[in-house]
A and B are shown apart, each in its own frame.
Chain A
């Protein structure tokens, strides 16, 4: 009985979330964006109310704040009509993710996310946006492809995943997997975190890290080659009628 109730609440939450995302996504006639925000918030709250709460309430509150910031900033990234705002909200998502990493004890990854993602990748995004942004508000930023269907797809995915996760967690709790805190203290949550990461990275994953370095070099050289070549002739903006020009340059 309780399991059925859980399922109904989850389905309701994902439906509300999908409706909210659909209303918030940029459409030709934007109506009810505030209603979309309200629906999405209700859906998120319902989904959160089904999650178990950490027993330490300060830790639980911290997790809720971090996760809420991350998810709300993610929704704002997707629904903003100005791509520069999207990029800035994405930065907030990254900060929230870094906080979640820190919360779960992955200190090195938190720092790496802030430095590499928010510091380098996001700035590159903003740089390209500034370079390529046409004057004024672009018409293609004010519409989306099949907003309703894609919102429904995302909702189905999230609903199925969270339902599976809840079921798996229940099974794990019933199976009573022998995991003790003492056991953890000498590995993932150890004091010398970075030392452990380094040992692991340059021990078990030495070949992989070398390959990753080579991949980075190859990607950067490839990017330089792609940008450096002078392509076809410059053409004027054809965004007004994309159907008018069908030949591939």
Chain B
């Protein structure tokens, strides 16, 4: 098989995988920011496919489209994150279920299932510096103009 066709098939499959995984994330996650990350991932999958097709047809059109995708993704991220921030300011939560009042009127009300008790948080062993050395002596004039020493 021609190498270019092999490359095209591999790239299209990876692009489909990225798109599918992003779609799963967008459909199933409830955190608004993770949903937008998933949407960006779907864009990445499409970009891979476009670049692969552009190489196959020996044309820069695919890469041009990806450049415009990057520009539009930047716009989308700016607007979406501004909206997310505003929504968070209103309700204090990133959960999309908080906004279920915006649903269609004939849909049932969302009821959050009871979560099982959170597993006890294990104490995290943060790295700590060993106690060593002496407390440095601070000249008295330095304490006068520094708030914290």
Q: Which among B6, B38, B60, B113 is the interface contact of A143 at CB below 8 angstroms? A: B113
Q: Which among A55, A189, A215, A231 is the interface contact of B75 at CB below 8 angstroms? A: A215
Interface readout for B76-91 with A: 1 if CB under 8 Å, 0 if not?
1111011111101111
Q: Which among A100, A168, A172, A184 is the interface contact of B58 at CB below 8 angstroms? A: A184
Docked complex Cα distance between A144 and B44 (Å): 23
Q: Which among B34, B55, B91, B111 is the interface contact of A105 at CB below 8 angstroms? A: B55
A53's nearest neighbour on chain B, judged by CB, is B6
Q: For window 79-118 of chain A, which residues contact chain B by CB distance below 8 Å?
A: 83, 86-87, 90, 93-94, 97, 100-101, 104-106, 108-109, 112-113, 116-117
Whether A9 sits at the interface, judged by CB under 8 Å, is no
Docked complex Cα distance between A236 and B78 (Å): 25
Whether A232 sits at the interface, judged by CB under 8 Å, is yes
Among B54, B55, B71, B97, which residue has the most Cβ atoms of chain A within 10 A?
A: B71
Q: Which among B30, B41, B82, B100 is the interface contact of A93 at CB below 8 angstroms? A: B41
In terms of DSSP, what is the predominant structure of the interface of chain A? helix
In terms of DSSP, what is the predominant structure of the interface of chain B? helix
Do A137 and B118 form a contact, CB below 8 Å, given A116-B70, A226-B86, A237-B92? yes
Are B18 and A74 in touch, CB under 8 angstroms?
yes
Q: For window 18-74 of chain B, which residues contact chain A by CB distance below 8 Å?
A: 18-25, 27-31, 33-34, 36-38, 40-41, 44, 47-48, 51-52, 54-56, 58-60, 63-64, 66-68, 70-74
Are A128 and B81 in touch, CB under 8 angstroms?
yes
Are B23 and A108 in touch, CB under 8 angstroms?
no
Docked complex Cα distance between A36 and B22 (Å): 17
Are A173 and B2 in touch, CB under 8 angstroms?
yes
Are B27 and A153 in touch, CB under 8 angstroms?
yes
Whether A5 sits at the interface, judged by CB under 8 Å, is no
Residues on the A chain within 8 Å of B64, using CB: 200-201, 204-205, 208
Docked complex Cα distance between A77 and B103 (Å): 27
Whether A161 sits at the interface, judged by CB under 8 Å, is yes
Interface readout for B107-118 with A: 1 if CB under 8 Å, 0 if not?
001111101101
Are B94 and A140 in touch, CB under 8 angstroms?
yes
Are A162 and B16 in touch, CB under 8 angstroms?
yes
Q: Which among A140, A145, A157, A227 is the interface contact of B82 at CB below 8 angstroms? A: A227
Q: How far is the CB of A206 from chain B (nearest CB, A)?
A: 11
Whether A4 sits at the interface, judged by CB under 8 Å, is no
Further pairs besides A54-B7, A109-B47, A153-B27: 5, Cβ < 8 Å: A141-B30, A161-B19, A234-B90, A242-B98, A246-B101
- The 5 A-B residue pairs whose C-beta atoms are closest, nearest first, are A78-B25, A219-B75, A150-B27, A158-B20, A161-B16
17 A-B residue pairs with CB within 8 Å: A54-B7, A63-B10, A77-B41, A116-B70, A125-B81, A132-B88, A139-B115, A140-B31, A173-B2, A196-B60, A200-B60, A201-B67, A212-B68, A212-B72, A215-B71, A215-B72, A237-B93
A residues within 8 Å of B by Cβ? 21, 25-26, 28-29, 47, 51-55, 63, 67, 70-71, 74-75, 77-78, 83, 86-87, 90, 93-94, 97, 100-101, 104-106, 108-109, 112-113, 116-117, 120-121, 124-125, 128-129, 131-134, 137-147, 149-151, 153-155, 157-158, 161-162, 165-166, 168-169, 172-173, 177, 179, 183-184, 187-189, 196-197, 200-201, 204-205, 208, 212, 215-216, 218-220, 222-224, 226-227, 229, 231-232, 234-239, 241-243, 245-249
